[in-house]
Amino acid sequence: MENCIFCSIINGDIPAEKLYEDDQVLAFKDVNAQAPEHFLVIPKIHISTVNDATDEALLGRMNITASNIAKEHGFAEKGYRLVMNCNSDGGQTVSHIHLHCLGGRQMTWPPG
């Protein structure tokens, strides 16, 4: 989709520090990391919010991709947090769904 920063990353128009890619999903480091480990997993098709998502397998793939990367990077056993923000109250700033994976430190609850 035009004017979507994450579609531009998928297309290669904007650089990103990629961690994993297949035909359906892309994972890359968050530019504004909120934890020692912070990456995003996005679908390669444009879906604006999780309210618009209908493909259960794709959402499952995003989660499994995140856990696989956490395992590969050695912080899965200690733990991590997976978050998908939705719309303004959820704090979503990029309108292309993305799963945050945060780790490498103790998470607090509730989040701000």
Select 70 or 85, whichever has its Cβ closest to ligand AMP: 85
Residues from 55 through 74 that contact ligand AMP (CB under 6 A)? none
CB atoms within 10 A of CB 44: 15
Least distance to ligand AMP from the beta carbon of 32, Å? 3
Of residues 1, 14, 64, 107, which one binds ligand AMP by CB under 6 A?
A: 14
For this structure, is 98 an active site residue?
yes
CB atoms within 10 A of CB 17: 10
Quote the tokens at residue 67: 């856990």
- 19: CB partners within 8 A, 6+ apart: 27, 28, 29, 39, 69
Binding site for ligand AMP (CB under 6 A): 5, 14, 16, 28, 30-32, 85, 91-94
